[in-house]
Structure 1
Amino acid sequence: MKQIITFGEVLMRLSPEGNKKFIQANLLEFYFGGTEVNVGISIANFGEKVKHISCVSNDFIGDTALSFIQKFGVSTSAIVRSNKPLGVYFLEVGAVMRPSAISYNRSNSSFSDIQPDMVDWETILKKGKWIHWTGITPGLGKGGYGTLKKGLVIAKEKGIAVSADPTYRNGLWKYGENAKDVLTDLLTYSTIFIGGVNEINEVLDAKYGHSNEDFVEASKALIKAFPSINKVFDKIRTPINASWHKIRARMWNGKEFRETSDFEITHIIDRIGTGDAFAAGLIYGLQKFDDYKSMEFASAACALKHTYEGDVNYANVAEVMGILDGNVSGRFNR
């Protein structure tokens, strides 16, 4: 059984209990996560074999992070160690009209030590069938960018599927590289694009609007600019307030446009990792279903993630399919 490969930083999250602000709190809860490892764990929960590649601290915090990842069945054999500390972020969970707030402490983290010669991509990808990347990793530093590109080059040579979530974060990209140049470089090795008009505008230096018609035109322009990309999937979030959102998705697969119905989340438990849950559902779905059913599965997985505390989506396939079958009342399963 071949593996799905994820590559990116592992972070510790510190957060007050419930919806408290830090100034109210004396106790903090901690969770492990990180965009790409969140995707990997969710896919493993769907029954796929997954390997995560990263660099974590060579201390008991790093040991605990590895144990957390391993308990979901994700392989950590390609994760290397560093004497620098694990990256940390601090989260205040908002409620109703008060938004959540995040502060990162990752500029000198263990992942900043990652270098291309630390990862044996040739060996890893012999067992690989899919690799997933996001724009966060190359935004963190030259080491992450170079290591990722090396893997994508080999993946393309081997004909391995590559999903790209170019996630542009303005707070990153402090090391001298231009975000647009880097992302367009990496997209030349990618086959599936997970992102919307904002991300397409960023990489094409365009100004498409957000209507469905604009999304289709933007997707066509993206595929023309990057011929290796054959499908574009976009998750759309409509916030009513911090606790109540609607989620739907749309796609252009080079042949047709499709859009899902809304999933309404009226009481959000935790919003962190919901986009990662969508990406994981899509990656899993595209190996099992047609494009539209894959998008529906991804949207349902995303909606379910809003009900779990922490960064990771704990849902399995049966639970996601239950949501797709209309079982959204929350009644007891007996």
Structure 2
Amino acid sequence: MSQIITFGEVLMRLSPEGNKKFIQSNTLEFYFGGTEINVGISISNFGGKVKHITCISDDFIGDTAISYLNKFDVDTSSIVRSSRPLGVYFLEVGAVMRPSSISYNRSHSSFSEIQPAMVNWEKSLEDANWFHWTGITPALCQGGFDTLREGLKLARKKGITVTADPTYRNGLWKYGQEPKEALCELLEYSTIFIGGINEINEVLGTDFTYSNDDFIEASKQLILRFPSITKVFDKIRTSVNSSWHKIRARMWNGQEFRETQDLDITHVVDRIGTGDAFAAGLIYGLQQFDDYKSMEFASAACALKHTYEGDVNFATVKEVMAILEGNTTGRLNR
């Protein structure tokens, strides 16, 4: 498998144990995460070769974060260090009708110092065949947008496949950049789009509904607007409550529309990072299978992530394939 590049902030997550609120607890569990490293670690768990590029605090917390990435065989050779602290977020995990809640502390984090001159993209991309980016990174700071843009320009010049997951979170764009303009510029360098109607409407300024017909038309218009994009994949979540979700996916690859069956997740353990698990499964799948089976693999990987605590999907290829083969009973393996 080719080397996959991910670029984005590494965060520390702090949570009370189980489903407690902070006011109930005097002890916290910590995990490392971040949209792009969630993708990278999951691909590495599938057997892929991954390099993560970021800026991390030059202290023992940063050292621990790098050790965490190394534990999963993620290449950290292009990571740069900063005197600023690692970004942190706080999570209260909900249950049943009580939703989860997140509070971020990342405005002056180590990643907020990232600048294009800090990353040697030519060296970082020399063995790469795939580059994955999300809309979180360009939303955080001007340096994040500028550095990502430089990497994507070179990636496309080298003919590297670029997956775009332009997650739009209005509350992150605080430094003056216009979200639509920024995302559209980055999509010019992308070849595969991982996102749904909300993301398409944001970048095109349209008002498509969630119907399959509108998804097909929206995908066609997206490809017309960004000719380098050839395929669109959409993960669909149905939330019965905080503890019971359903996952399915659909695609338009320029020739056909396909949709998977729902996967029922009746006891959600942790939903953080589930979209990243979908993206990781898709990236891995597209290098192994046809488009439809890749989407099925991604949906199953996403569903499995709901069963793991923390931000990262620890599922193996064998475990994901077992779900595709209908083994969803959770019976004890001996």
TM-score category, normalised to shorter length: over 0.9
Tell me, in whole angstroms, the C-alpha distance in 2 between the residues paired with 1:170 and 1:69: 29
Tell me, in whole angstroms, the C-alpha distance in 2 between the residues paired with 1:271 and 1:310: 9
**SS state of the match for residue 126, structure 1?**
coil
Match of 2:324 in 1: 324
Q: 1:119 and 2:119 equivalent?
A: yes
Match of 1:244 in 2: 244
> What TM-score does the superposition give when structure 1 sets the normalisation length?
0.99
Match of 1:15 in 2: 15
Please state how far the C-alpha of 1:333 moved relative to its aligned partner. 1.1
Q: 1:49 and 2:49 equivalent?
A: yes
Q: 1:177 and 2:177 equivalent?
A: yes
Could you tell me which amino acid in structure 1 is paired with residue 5 of structure 2?
Answer: I
Could you tell me which amino acid in structure 2 is paired with residue 200 of structure 1?
Answer: I
Match of 1:229 in 2: 229
Tell me, in whole angstroms, the C-alpha distance in 2 between the residues paired with 1:69 and 1:229: 30
Could you tell me which amino acid in structure 1 is paired with residue 201 of structure 2?
Answer: N
Tell me, in whole angstroms, the C-alpha distance in 2 between the residues paired with 1:151 and 1:2: 17
**SS state of the match for residue 51, structure 1?**
strand
Moved beyond 2 Å, runs of 4+? none
**SS state of the match for residue 126, structure 2?**
helix
Tell me, in whole angstroms, the C-alpha distance in 1 between the residues paired with 2:329 and 2:206: 42
Structure 1 segments unaligned to the other structure (5+ residues): none
Match of 2:90 in 1: 90
Please state how far the C-alpha of 1:332 moved relative to its aligned partner. 1.2
1:4-43 aligned at under 5 Å gives the runs 4-43=4-43
Structure 2 segments unaligned to the other structure (5+ residues): none
> What TM-score does the superposition give when structure 2 sets the normalisation length?
0.99
1:106-145 aligned at under 5 Å gives the runs 106-145=106-145
Identity fraction in percent: 75
Tell me, in whole angstroms, the C-alpha distance in 2 between the residues paired with 1:163 and 1:58: 30
Q: Deviations over 1:280-327 (max 9, x none)?
A: 000000000000000000000000000000000000100000110111
Tell me, in whole angstroms, the C-alpha distance in 2 between the residues paired with 1:4 and 1:98: 37
Tell me, in whole angstroms, the C-alpha distance in 1 between the residues paired with 2:207 and 2:327: 40
RMSD across aligned C-alpha pairs, in angstroms?
0.6
Q: Deviations over 1:203-224 (max 9, x none)?
A: 0000001100000000000000
Tell me, in whole angstroms, the C-alpha distance in 2 between the residues paired with 1:229 and 1:140: 24
Could you tell me which amino acid in structure 1 is paired with residue 182 of structure 2?
Answer: V
Match of 2:146 in 1: 146
**SS state of the match for residue 77, structure 1?**
coil
